[in-house]
Amino acid sequence: VAVIAVTSGKAAPGATTAVCALASVWPRGVLVADCDPGGGDVLVGWLSPWLAEGWLRAEVGVLSFATASRYAAGGTGEQLGLHTQHVYPARGVWLLAGVRDAAQAASVTEPGWGRLAEALAEVGGEGEVDVLVDVGRLGAGTPWPVLGCADAVVVAVRGSIRGVAAARTALRALDGRVDTARVGLLGCATRLDQARQAARALDRPLLAELPDQPAAAAVFSDGAPAPRGLGRSLLVRAARATADRLLTRALDGQPSGAATGTGGSR
């Protein structure tokens, strides 16, 4: 039903961590599409223990899809299915593994990203599985077709002055390329008041916020061993609430929520 793209400016606010934390508690089937053109972090981060154990393969993913579909007129969900992997330890999660680095991303090429966007839109539109895309930092290599197919574009932002500055640059990059009504903010490693302040400064709706929880976050960013009670941690609880909110808004066709800019934590 929904394709939700998470992106950011510089300063690594926690976009990938958010995508993985959300996927781990997503209430429906979910495909995590790692489309960070700087190099995918999902497989070498959150899923690295399962990569090391040989459950997942790094060479099956964005690049293999782009290569295999290079003579096709467009991208389809069926084709994409050949390049996604079921993440057995995380129930209902599928992975489209990312590229190794920027050089590999370049060989995906613009038409390759275009076919991928078509395929992701088809998967998201079929209604059985939602798609969470990690688009990485916005910049020269950004896969714009993928952002174009998203029902909601979520910009990760930290509450610091530096974090807000980075998000402002990211929002400017989106301006004119992505419908503003689909763009909202996700406060990362922030308190609610900081996140609200950031949203006010950026004049965009705050969709949700994830608290500063280094130990729990390291599970999703680096595949660190899960601390005790991870499922009840503030981060995972906030991720559940965030998933529900994103889904509701994406299904409403109103991903950006209230247009007040101060955001609404419902």
Ligand X SMILES: Nc1ncnc2c1ncn2[C@@H]1O[C@H](COP(=O)(O)OP(=O)(O)OP(=O)(O)O)[C@@H](O)[C@H]1O
Q: Name the binder of 13 from Mg ion, ligand X, none, CB < 5-8 A by kind.
A: ligand X
Q: Are 190 and 209 in contact (CB under 8 A)?
A: yes
Three-state helix/strand/coil letters over 62-131: HHHHHHHCCCCCCCCHHHHHCCCEECCCCCCEEEEECCCCHHHHHHHCHHHHHHHHHHHHHHHHHCCEEE
Choose from Mg ion, ligand X, none: what does 93 bind? Cβ within 5-8 Å by kind.
Answer: none
Task: Verify binding: residue 17, ligand X, rule CB under 6 A.
Answer: yes
Nearer to Mg ion, 19 or 243 (CB): 19
Nearest residue to Mg ion by CB is 16
Residue 186 touches which of Mg ion, ligand X, none (CB < 5 to 8 A by kind)?
Answer: none
Among 63, 65, 60, smallest CA distance to 47 is for 60
Binder to Mg ion among 5, 11, 16, 145 (CB under 5 A)? 16
Site membership for Mg ion, residue 7 (CB under 5 A): no
Give least dist CB 128 to ligand X, A.
Answer: 27
Q: Which of 165, 180, 197, 212 binds ligand X (CB under 6 A)?
A: 212
Q: Is 245 in the site for ligand X (CB under 6 A)?
A: no
Contact of residue 3 among ligand X, Mg ion, none (CB under 5-8 Å per partner type): none
Residue 91 identity: R
CA R_g for the chain: 17
Q: CA distances (Å), 189 to each of 94, 136, 157, 210, in order?
A: 26, 17, 9, 6
H/E element, 5: strand 3-8
Q: Which is nearer to ligand X, 74 or 214 (CB)?
A: 214
Residue 171: CB minimum distance to Mg ion, A? 18
Sheet strands side by side (includes 206-210)? 85-86, 93-96, 29-34, 129-137, 3-8, 152-157, 183-188, 206-210
Interface residues toward ligand X, by CB under 6 A: 8, 12-17, 36, 41, 136-137, 156, 188-189, 210, 212-214, 217-218, 221, 235
Contacts with Mg ion by CB under 5 A lie at 15-16, 41
